[in-house]
Amino acid sequence: MQVTFLGTGTSMGVPIAGGYGRELMKGDPRDERYRCSAWVQHNNKSILIDVGPEFRLQSLRSGLTEVDLLLLTHQHTDHIGGLDDLRPFNYIQKSEIPVITTPECEKSIRRRFYYMFEPEKTPGSVDLSFQPQKESYNWFGLNIVPLPVYHGEMKVYGFRINDFSYITDVNYIPEETKEKIKGSKVMVLSGLRWDPKHPTHYTIPEAVEIADELGVDQTWLVHMSVYVNHSETNKQLPSHVQLAYDQLSITVD
């Protein structure tokens, strides 16, 4: 299974619109971050985790040409704002795109993207097929387990795909979800900044604590702000917890 990080930045991206924060960057391309998203490839099938505002650009630079399954963590715009850009995948694949997400996220999408679902559906708009809520799913020979976590007061999903666990936008993981994560070989976890503490996201030190508690072999941090310098931060982190970056591709056995 191959995992490509399409984006690793915060809700506003790095640098922020208008170029704000660029003065903090030191020319390392790993410090430029699109909104968080990941592409999982297995047996010639493609699973997309979140579809943010830069999805068109992410697909072009990564070579993503197929979306066989869409996993959505939650309904914030930086995670669903690129839904309209799934249209060409419907056209080419000549099929709906199955979606696994929280009930709240499905409800929000049906309200905000009403033209995809109303009786007189807008011609050419995206075709999505929301899947029923289950404890686990089997797609393309992969076991996919939703991982309920909390982003402030909001319940969101992480996803465990075989031995790969992906969790973004989180500041609390319930004990029952930790048990579902344990045994993963690779985990992705949000690490917004060094400090101060944030009401809806783990800080980098908090993420390291969680990684150590769960005993995952390798943890990659995502959802970093402009204040997190890639090379300087990695030097301060243990080798089993490192910052991911856009276009990083890893293999999970």
* Sheet order of strands, 128-130 included: 128-130, 97-100, 69-71, 45-49, 37-42, 2-7, 249-251
What's the confidence (pLDDT) of residue 41?
Answer: 98
Helices (H), 18-146: 55-62, 77-80, 87-93, 103-112
Contact 68, 141 (CB under 8 A): no
Q: What is the mean pLDDT of residues 172-182?
A: 98
H or E segment to which residue 149 belongs: strand 142-151
| Angstrom distance (rounded) from CA 4 to CA 6 | 6
DSSP bridge partners of 7: 37
Residue with tokens 């990080």: 5
Question: Is the pLDDT assigned to residue 110 strictly greater than 90?
Answer: yes
Structure tokens at 161: 């795909």
What's the confidence (pLDDT) of residue 128?
Answer: 98
Q: State pLDDT tens for residues 234-253.
A: 999 999 999 999 999 999 98
What's the confidence (pLDDT) of residue 24?
Answer: 84
Q: What distances in angstroms separate CA 149 from CA 51, 158, 176, one per listed residue?
A: 19, 7, 10
Q: State pLDDT tens for residues 15-55.
A: 999 998 888 888 899 999 999 999 999 999 999 999 999 99
Contact 4, 62 (CB under 8 A): yes
- Domains in the chain, start-ordered, CATH in brackets? 2-251 (3.60.15.10)
What's the confidence (pLDDT) of residue 27?
Answer: 87
What's the confidence (pLDDT) of residue 152?
Answer: 97
Q: What is the mean pLDDT of residues 148-163?
A: 98
Q: What is the mean pLDDT of residues 225-235?
A: 96
DSSP bridge partners of 155: 150
Three-state DSSP state, 231: helix
Percentage with pLDDT > 90 across the chain: 95
Q: Would the pTM count as exceeding 0.85?
A: yes
What's the confidence (pLDDT) of residue 25?
Answer: 86
Q: State pLDDT tens for residues 52-106.
A: 999 999 999 999 999 999 999 999 999 999 999 999 999 999 999 999 999 999 9
At residue 48, what are phi and psi to the nearest 5 degrees?
A: -105, 130
